[in-house]
Amino acid sequence: MAEMTDVFFVDGMRTPFGRAGEKGMYWNTRADDLVVKAIIGLMERNGDVPKDRIDDVAIAATSQTGDQGLTLGRTAAILAGLPMTVPGLAIERMCAGAMTSVTTMGASIGVGMYDLALAGGVEHMGRHPIGGNVDPNPRFVAEKLVDPGALNMGVTAERIHDRFPHLTKERADRFGAASQHKVQAAYEAGKIQPDLVPIAVKDAAGAWGLATEDEGRRPETTVEGLATLKTPFRPHGRVTAGTSSPLTDGATISLLAGAGAVKEFGLAPKMRMVSFAFAGVEPEIMGIGPIPSTEKALKKAGLTIDDIGLFELNEAFAIQVISLLDHFGIADDDPRVNAWGGAIALGHPLAASGVRLMIQLAAQFAERPDVRYGLTAMCVGLGQGGSVIWENPFFDGKKKRK
């Protein structure tokens, strides 16, 4: 009989993230091929896991059309060389797609229905701009269910500034510059590269190359420079390109397992899932979504925010992260938060980003036996938030930094 079990994040890998559009390195690369390469890389790195024992493959995409359509989990599994006996599915929760892939597969493992699963996401924003092929129901506007501006993520970010005037543009600029600098420091220390799957790419002239690093980084960024940028979402606004995640292409994948599979195959998990939660907020200020989802996840885990020793928060916009930190009484520059930088520098390929957060948290856990719990959280378009709390298997209990 199936039994309840712990859920473990065994491993995760991702493609380097590329700038979306004709000048980006993935302009001539298919979206499904990005996730296929990520799966191949992950399975090669975990060669002790029999491919035919994977119970399911969940792949998320926000724009499920074209080369991001056709039940991505199933098609990517076949293309990656998994046996035909391995099923798959597609998931869509906008920015929290990969996070939802992980929680959905994790829940299936937790109740004993699955032993092993792959979960991730992909977004080729160059081929499929957000909202580019959708037809919102006219009732949203006609019945004033949602303000039209709620469909523009930059407008929703400006509205957080409106609602919380003490969350100033200057604070957002400092946060944006710090993200760039932290990512560069992490690169120079070799923290990011081990979990990247190199991708063969072809340029406009037909010449082949190899994508090995995230393309959108701007380490030369300064606070003074950010102060001069235009505010594209509102005249005299506060949100700029320097405090927003860039449009990005990329894919992520993770391997999840139950306790039985960990023992059977001698696996060495990088994290244990403690709890997860999703929450809804007003779509007009979707960026505050991670606040209630984090409160729900903490309650389910029997923890408080003070128990969290590392935070990986998706930087869709600087103001979104700052609003969460402000709510919980955490300083903008707290060293527990996005220690290796975030999406403002690395990019945010929508449905792929949740697993990127997990990959970075897992790598930090290995270096921080003094930290027991970590949080991955993100805002979600149309007014949602998602949060997952993880436990560090390397925690030694000797000390705990607050």
Question: Residues 6 or more apart from 261 whose CB is under 8 A from it?
Answer: 53, 115, 116, 267
Question: Residues 6 or more apart from 96 whose CB is under 8 A from it?
Answer: 278, 351, 354, 378, 380, 384, 386
**The one catalytic residue among 124, 128, 161, 348:** 348
Question: Residues 6 or more apart from 120 whose CB is under 8 A from it?
Answer: 12, 14, 35, 38, 39, 58, 59, 60, 98, 101, 251, 252, 253, 254, 352, 355
Angle between helices 153-163 and 318-327 (to 10 degrees): 40
- Say which residue the tokens 């009989």 belong to: 1
In the chain, the N- to C-terminal Cα span, in Å, equals 42
User: Across the strands, what pairs with 116?
Assistant: 257
Question: Residues 6 or more apart from 167 whose CB is under 8 A from it?
Answer: 160, 161, 319, 322, 323, 326
Strand residue runs (E) in 212-328: 248-258, 271-280, 308-313
- Say which residue the tokens 């949060």 belong to: 387
> Up-side HSE of residue 278: CA atoms within 13 Å toward CB?
17
Structure tokens at 347: 């990019």
Structure tokens at 218: 């701007």
**The one catalytic residue among 95, 124, 128, 161:** 95
95 is catalytic: yes
3-state secondary structure of 34: helix
348 is catalytic: yes
| Residues with active-site annotation | 95, 348, 379
